[in-house]
Structure 1
Amino acid sequence: MSLRDSDAASPFLDIPGVRNIRDAAIGPIRPGLLYRSGSLNQLTPEGAQRLKALGIRSVVDLRGAVELAHWPDELHGLDLAALNLPTLPERQGDERPWPDDQAALYLYMAETAGPSIAAVIRHLTAPAMLPALVHCAVGKDRTGLTVAVLQQLLGAAEADITADFLRSNAGLGLLDGPVPYIDETGAERLSRPVTAECLLDALHRLRTRHGSVEAFLGAHGVTAAELTALRAALTG
């Protein structure tokens, strides 16, 4: 079986045990270098071999420590670099310090995700880290914003970025609305479909506060040389 779904038009990869996995290449970004997905905590041995066949060299996990403790990635002996770069602040007890409202969450991430995204860029430009897979729990919010910032930085058109972002609704079965799930503390919550408005508002927030995506990243220590290295590695 091909690594891709039986539908040739589908953007999703057929990796057993991994949800919402696809190539993040749009516009000038070269295919086969940056992938995005949900967590690997249910990755099967067959799925691990398919990741190996893709040439994945590193995995960046954007989840927090409590999530990692409950649902650690299953790598089945894959020889790759695994890095944890939480997008959101850690919980205080059982309470989430971030908003439950999706629109507010994206604006919150625009304010707080800078250090994590900067660290992702440094990781991607380090030797032998590509191809890389970036993931969070289901690959739609934390991964969605992180990958969108990278795609914008690398010159992808806003319409293409938004279209790729919205694919998570199909990848997670959210086309008909929210779906309940049990979080890492045992609480029942709703997984909500992503919207273009949430993403565009977050990107607008970070650009207006800093002037540009490059300036946003520069405020978190990313150098011009690192941006040049990222573009050389992932585009062209």
Structure 2
Amino acid sequence: MTDAFIEIPGVRNFRDAGGIGALRRGVLYRSGSLHTLTEEGARKLKDLGLRTVIDLRSQEELEVWPDQRHGLDHESLHLPTLPANRDDLDRPWPEDQADLYTFMPAYAGPSLAAVVRRLAAPDALPVVVHCAVGKDRTGLTIAVLQSLLGASDADITADFLRSNVGLGLDQGPTPYVDETGTERISRPINADLIASSLAWIRTHHGSVPDYLHAAGLTAADLAAVRANLSV
């Protein structure tokens, strides 16, 4: 593992998202969910100065696997990446991993806009952004933020791919049970996946900032988050 990883007992794939582009270290962390966070893990999060946890999972996931706090007094925000209602979509729900990475940016605008607004507030930091295992939904969210802070696609991709190591997927796919009790397979990620998300954003909106503008953010919002997260 790289020095970006931080051992937080009970939390998978926890690491600092900073250190690339202008995004400084110690303000934005990424991880899997906190539903098995231990008391020791909570003490380590407190030592990091944690103020905000942003949960990108579905409502059903939260109900089955609620984050643990162990007395931590951070603010918790539920900002799901994926739409809750599958019936009103203009494209099919993704059936495989490749589809997911063009599906997510098509519907994640509201979530990403809300994440940026919270990160622009000085009292929000440090922040942990997480989904179930910190790989796909978190991967897109962090990639957009890193791009906004001037990271290159190569550096964004290198950070994205660290989830394979953080989750043991560098050894191949692993089985898991989802929130409905169904056994599924968690598959390793590859560079083409996050490239397809960024390509979708640029094809449909021109740039990451323009994508966020389309989601309702202003130039002042983007300037504020850059100022808050920059070295």
TM-score range, shorter chain: over 0.9
Q: Does 1:86 align with 2:80?
A: yes
Aligned to 2:101: 106
Match of 1:191? Answer: 186
Say if 2:34 is the partner of 1:17: no
Aligned to 2:51: 57
Which of 214, 217, 230 is the matching residue for 2:212? 217
Q: Given the two structures, how large is their TM-score scaled by the length of structure 1?
A: 0.93
Does the CA-based 8 Å contact 1:88-1:98 persist in structure 2? Answer: no
After the TM superposition, which parts of structure 1 deviate over 3 Å for at least 4 consecutive aligned residues? none
Q: Distance in 2 between matches of 1:134 and 1:23?
A: 10
**Which residues of structure 1 form unaligned runs of 5+?**
1-6
Deviation at 1:74, TM superposition (A): 0.1
Change beyond 3 A, Cα 1:224–1:92? closer
Coordinate RMSD, CA, aligned: 1.4
Q: Which residue of 228, 231, 236 corresponds with 2:226?
A: 231
Change (3 A) 1:192 1:91: farther
Alignment match, 1:3: none
Match of 1:204 among 188, 199, 206: 199
Find the aligned partners of 1:18 and 1:226 in 2 and give their Cα distance: 31
Give 1:127 deviation, angstroms: 3.9
TM-superposed CA distance for 1:126, in Å, is 2.2
1:116 correspondence with 2:111: yes
Cα displacement (A) at 1:92: 6.0
Q: Distance in 2 between matches of 1:124 and 1:10?
A: 23
Write out aligned runs for 1:40-55 (5 A): 40-55=34-49
Q: Structure with the greater relative contact order (CA < 8 A, sep ≥ 6): 1 or 2?
A: 2
Aligned equivalent of 1:164, options 159, 165, 172:
159
- TM-score, length-scaled by structure 2: 0.95
Paired residue type of 2:48? L
Partners of 1:164 and 1:87 lie apart in 2 by: 19
1:153 pairs with 148, 152, 162, which one? Answer: 148
The structural deviation recorded for 1:10 is 3.7
Does the alignment pair 1:31 with 2:18? no
Q: Percent identity?
A: 62
Using the TM superposition, give the Cα deviation of residue 224 of structure 1 relative to its aligned residue in structure 2, in angstroms.
0.5
> The residue matched to 2:209 in structure 1 has which SS?
helix
In structure 1, how many angstroms separate the alpha carbons of the residues matched to 2:152 and 2:206? 18
| Alpha-carbon distance change, 219 to 92 in structure 1, aligned in 2, over 3 angstroms | closer
Counterpart Cα distance in 2 of 1:160 and 1:215: 21
Q: Which amino acid aligns with 1:156?
A: A
CA distances 1:136-172 after superposition (whole Å, capped 9, x unpaired): 0000000000000000011011111000000000000
Match of 2:136 in 1: 141
Work out the CA distance in 1 between the residues paired with 2:85 and 2:226: 34
Residue in 2 aligned with 1:68? 62
Displacement of 1:98 in angstroms is 2.9
Q: SS at 2:169's partner residue? A: coil
